[in-house]
Amino acid sequence: MSSVDGESRQMRRGQQGFITTMCSEETFRDQYAVLEVIGRGSFAQVILAVHHLTGILVVLKVSYKVTGIFETIETEVELMKRVQHCNVVQLFQVMETMDYVYLVMEAALGGQILWHIPRDRSLEEQEACRAFRQVVCALHYCHEQGVVHRDLKVENILLDKAGNVKLCEFGLGSRFKAGQKLSRACGTPEYCAPELYNGEEYDGPSVDAWSLGVTLFYMLAGRLPFDGKTVPELAEKILDASYEMPAHVSAEAQSLIRQLLTVDPAERATLPQILEHPWLGQEQEHSPGHSRQPLPNLPNPTVLGMMFELGFNIKEVSVSISQKTFDHGMATYLLLQCLLTPGSGFKADV
């Protein structure tokens, strides 16, 4: 057996041990039942599960507490608590044990938008326009809440069963104030703006706008605009904004891509300008509202009645909601509220 095979087998044993240990924790087992693992990383697993009390499918991101990784998890939790938009994956609950952090989130069962883009081909422009406008609306909302994403890419854009966008993965995100410059260089190299390669302090929303340009190009071309065998080769192309526009892309879509993939961030299109671009105008009437139903301060009596029947202490639930603790009571409340919201896309399985 080769050393590579041995390492692979050892890694699989480690992943299986991770799941077995994680699923045996009482905090988790009492509330959720695992269906399948749908994603793996070095220090985290993404799991499709069922919430016992409501029968609703959820996604759990389970992260092992490792120095350096835990700080990223804390950032993701903080930012997801802050953003409530219909095109952002909703956070329902946060659980923390001695070894793990569990994020219970909305299940976007359509998967990554990447899966729907044929390689070296593209989405139909109308389909791409609809999805891209939802991404821009979600990101614009995040910026208005003082949150910059910094890792926008097709892998971090999910779809629900109705084909609506759900932006996810805020682990590299940051809080910011208008006019504030950020300094941490992070993100996926192929999506990073030129100023990140120059080692400059940068404007967070402008970096997100560049990544939007790369994302739109991918949607319409089925490939990335910039590539390279080495990071310096990739950086050279990005710094020169050197890419080949696909001939089949409409003139208006090409115009929008150029405005986003502008090297000078001061000249780069802003998100409000993007939303006013003629190419996106065709989808304006069909775009969702700015945000989902906000986190409640005054609980819905109908939902509270349902929770009383499930055995919850209503006073404790009300405190959880008012203090936004994201515990099991608040998670159950939010899941039941989603069921009662017309067109929410949530459906109980039992």
SS3 track for 288-321: CCCCCCCCCCCCCHHHHHHHHHCCCCHHHHHHHH
Structure-token pair, residue 276: 């006013």
Query: Angle, nearest 10°, between helix axes 328-340 and 314-323?
Result: 90
Q: Which residue in the list 30, 99, 151, 160 is annotated as catalytic?
A: 151
Structure-token pair, residue 109: 């069962």
Where helices occur in 169-298 by DSSP H, the ranges are: 194-197, 204-221, 231-239, 251-260, 271-275, 278-281
327 is catalytic: no
CA torsion, points 288, 317, 63, 150, in degrees to nearest 10? 30
Query: What is the DSSP code string of 84-137?
Result: --TTBPPEEEEEE-SSEEEEEEE--TTEEGGGGS-TTS---HHHHHHHHHHHHH
| Residues catalogued as catalytic | 151
